[in-house]
Amino acid sequence: MKANLILYFDHDENPDADRNPELAELLMNFGLYCEEARFTFQTLPRIGEYIVAEPLLREWIGDKKWVKPCPGDEALRKIHKALYTGSFRVEEIYHHFDTCTIHCSDIHYKISQD
């Protein structure tokens, strides 16, 4: 079954004042990709279940149509380092004709000093 994802990223200290614009742009680009892409799931996850982020991130990195603000391996490393968890929790699932949209809980991230 194919579905797209809706993800929102929320900074752990102050969501309106990201101190790392490159990370904020990476997360925004990944979020937009998830909204437009149709991911294949063997079975749709249920509300409360978790979706592992790594395969989705790798699919985004490998998609040449999407421009990233830094090279793929660096983008993957930066996002992994920023995310508190490596998964997204399913909050709601919407079906509309032949499409399915999965809304995930706000994803909290931190900015670490590199």
Query: What is the side-by-side strand order in the sheet with 99-104?
Result: 39-40, 2-6, 99-104, 87-96, 50-52
β-partners of residue 3 are 39
pLDDT in tens, 66-112: 878 788 888 888 887 777 667 888 999 998 877 899 988 877 666 55
How many whole angstroms from its chain centre is CA 73?
16
Which DSSP symbol is given to 59? H
CB-based contacts of 20: which residues, under 8 Å, 6+ apart? 111
What is the pTM (predicted TM-score) of this model? 0.79
- 99-104 and 87-96: which strand pairing? antiparallel
